[in-house]
Structure 1
Amino acid sequence: MMTEEIARPAGTIDYEARDGRAYITLNNPSKKNAMTDAMWDALMEAYDRAEADDDVRVIVLTGAGTDFCTGHDMAEVGNQYGPTTIDAKGRPRRPSQRARLRYDKKYVARFERIFTCLTPTIALVRGYCLGGGLYLAEACDLVIASDTAKMGHPEQKLGLSGAAYFDAWEMLTLGIRKARELLLMADVWNAQEAFAAGLINKLVSDDELTAKGEEWAERIARLPRDGITIGKSATLLAMNALGVNTQFAYGPVYHALASNMRWEEDEVNFFKQKRDKGVTAANKEREARYVVKDGDA
């Protein structure tokens, strides 16, 4: 079957269904598969389509090119809540907490959609898997990664500083200490570090990634359809009993608050730097801020 594009500006979500699988590919390789809002919406359409297809027993999620996904397109970050407006007295008026909560609720619901999909998902990860890209991998049932994988939450340096949409899942999976390290240090772990911590199920060489994904997908596709759905439903009930699903309720609230925080004079405000100097320069200043050299402490 021909691969179809769920077309959107600045990147696409490619969809192909065959042999009991749905292949969903994040296709924006020039930006390391960074996701625009339009791409997120298209991804949800792809998941709806796969779940509605009775012949699809497993979803394979991957990124085009050499990377999985670097999260939300930074060109859109900071503008997603709408523009600053001018009130009747001529004063600038930032987007309200109401507007922030509405957007963040929709944004978090996208990860919840994948997490609760009744069709199991295998993520095939190579290269960068960061921020929202890591949330995508965490939302999947299984992760197979190549030895080129680099996983982490560098977006914590934007001001979030230790909280994530998948906090509960990360604490359960990594243990509280490693989960706190992942977020507070905001380091990018190499493939071996991510595998040792528990972010990855199977680690293979880069040239083996596709074949291993096909092997695991085939093993799932041979299971009975009802069994797959009942098993995933029972898993979600168990997750709910453990309290994991609460992360999708608190996620929008914490993010709306964090995106409206006050920046002090001695702090690096990425959003101000992005406005004044552009995304690339702002990213460089952000990263330089957190490089600790001998004698700094």
Structure 2
Amino acid sequence: MTGSVDYLARDGRAYITFNRPEKKNAFTNAMFDQLMQCYDEAERDDDVRVVVLQGAGDDFSTGHDLAEVGHEYGETTYDDKGRPRKPSQRARLLHDKRYLERFERVFKFLKPTLSLVKGYCLGGGLYLAEGSDLVIAADTAKMGHPEQKLGLSGAAYFAAWEMMTMGPRKARELLLMADVWDAQTCLANGLVNKVVPLASLVDAGEEWAERIVRLPRDGIVMGKAATSLAMDSLGITSQFSYGHVLHSLATNVRYEADEFNFMKQRRDKGVRASNHDREDFYVKKERA
């Protein structure tokens, strides 16, 4: 697996760049670990007053690399007759708790975060944008949770935040329909703060970052702490208490004969072909 998460601090800003453009900045577990190291560095640096998240190339991030999904619970184990065993709930909960803690760190980070979204922003990539304080999107942005078609069907880590932001109806639509929304639809539903032409995205981000940088350091941190307290009082942060439990259950789906099993298709055909088959399956179902 290639790819990196790059860090650059200057002028009161910490730029964190997802650098795997050939895979639309899909995250490996190693890249998620690098991301946390970047947040540690930004937290230690007193001169950093705002974190700017961005993707290399044409996209923000398509989330967790599907080549790793399904293998995250460790090596396959076998019973005394040589038959493969499902991962234990212990392994599921341990991994999912650690995975969710990464997004919680982004959400509760002590300094403001600004995501500059272009192209695809899906799944875990959307969680990173949702966990940011501010989001500016290019007119090329496409945001959503198509991974719900893998069988999760609404078990989203950020379900509470999405319901608060969009209202229960639109939040359920985003998850259950598993559609990918264009930039203007995202703006209308509160997923982003503003939409600008792609050529203006960096400049728009610099303008907002500069306005934040001019604020006093203590004021910035106290403002963010107050925001976290407000989220606690509204019950939004409870999603980080139960999210990993629900995800562990959701990844233990039993597929019936007439249902699309991505894991089986990926084993037989590979990631790219099974992705296309998944979309074809749901489109045909919708047209039927």
Q: Taking structure 2 as the reference length, what is the TM-score of the superposition?
A: 0.98
From 89, 95, 104, give the equivalent of 2:87: 95
Matches within 5 A, 1:198-213: 198-213=190-205
* Runs of 4+ that moved beyond 3 A: 292-295
CA distance in 1, matches of 2:115, 2:19: 15
Q: Cα distance, 1:89 vs. partner? A: 3.2
Q: Which residue of 2 aligns with 1:21?
A: 13
Count of aligned pairs: 288
Conservation of the 8 A alpha-carbon contact between 2:155 and 2:250: no
Q: Which residue of 2 aligns with 1:125?
A: 117
The one-letter amino acid of 1:27's match is N
Over aligned residues, Cα RMSD in angstroms? Answer: 1.1
Q: Cα distance, 1:92 vs. partner? A: 1.7
Q: Cα distance, 1:88 vs. partner? A: 2.5
Secondary structure of the residue aligned to 2:9 is strand
Q: Which residue of 1 aligns with 2:64?
A: 72
From 158, 166, 177, give the equivalent of 1:166: 158
Q: Are 1:81 and 2:73 an aligned pair?
A: yes
CA distance 1:92–1:149, change in 2 (3 Å):
same
Conservation of the 8 A alpha-carbon contact between 1:104 and 1:255: yes
CA distance in 2, matches of 1:206, 1:91: 52
From 187, 191, 213, give the equivalent of 1:195: 187
Q: Cα distance, 1:50 vs. partner? A: 0.2
Q: Which residue of 1 aligns with 2:276?
A: 284
Secondary structure of the residue aligned to 1:61 is strand
CA distance in 1, matches of 2:52, 2:203: 12
Q: Which residue of 2 aligns with 1:185?
A: 177
Q: Cα distance, 1:163 vs. partner? A: 2.1
Consecutive unaligned residues in structure 1, runs of 5 or more: 1-8
CA distance 1:238–1:10, change in 2 (3 Å):
same
The one-letter amino acid of 1:98's match is R
Conservation of the 8 A alpha-carbon contact between 1:83 and 1:94: no
Q: Cα distance, 1:14 vs. partner? A: 0.7
Q: Cα distance, 1:202 vs. partner? A: 1.2
CA distance in 2, matches of 1:56, 1:166: 27
Conservation of the 8 A alpha-carbon contact between 2:119 and 2:142: yes
Q: Taking structure 1 as the reference length, what is the TM-score of the superposition?
A: 0.95
Q: Are 1:273 and 2:265 an aligned pair?
A: yes
The one-letter amino acid of 1:267's match is E
Q: Are 1:10 and 2:2 an aligned pair?
A: yes
CA distance in 2, matches of 1:14, 1:244: 30
Q: Are 1:249 and 2:241 an aligned pair?
A: yes
Conservation of the 8 A alpha-carbon contact between 2:62 and 2:121: yes
Consecutive unaligned residues in structure 2, runs of 5 or more: none
Q: 1:169-226: CA deviations, max 9, x gaps?
A: 0000001100000000000000011111110101100011000100000000000000
Q: Cα distance, 1:292 vs. partner? A: 4.4
Q: Cα distance, 1:259 vs. partner? A: 0.7
Q: Which residue of 2 aligns with 1:224?
A: 216
CA distance in 2, matches of 1:48, 1:150: 29
Q: Which residue of 2 aligns with 1:105?
A: 97
From 32, 49, 52, give the equivalent of 2:24: 32
